[in-house]
Amino acid sequence: MDEKKLAIIATKGSLDWAYPPFILASTAAALGYETQIFFTFYGLVLLKKKLNLQVTSLGNPAMPMPLPVPVIMQTMPGMQAMMSTMMKAKMKKKGVASVEELRDLCLEAEVKMVACEMTVQLFDFNKSDFIDGIEYAGATTFFDFAGDADVSLYI
- Contacts with a copy of itself, residue ranges (CB under 8 A): 4, 6-7, 9, 11-16, 19-20, 23-24, 27-28, 30-31, 33, 40-42, 45, 53-56, 58-64, 70-72, 74-77, 79-80, 84, 90-91, 94, 96, 118, 121-123, 138-140, 142-143, 146-155
Nearer to a copy of itself, 84 or 113 (CB): 84
SS3 assignment, position 13: coil
Q: How far is the CB of 54 from a copy of itself (least distance, A)?
A: 4
Contact assessment for residue 118 and residue 112, using Cβ atoms and an 8 Å cutoff = no
Strand (E) or helix (H) holding 141: helix 139-146
Q: How far is the CB of 62 from a copy of itself (least distance, A)?
A: 3
- Amino acid of residue 127: K
Q: How far is the CB of 133 from a copy of itself (least distance, A)?
A: 22
- Distance from the first to the final alpha carbon of the chain: 28
DSSP type of residue 66: S
Strand-pairing partners, residue 10, are 39
Q: How far is the CB of 1 from a copy of itself (least distance, A)?
A: 10
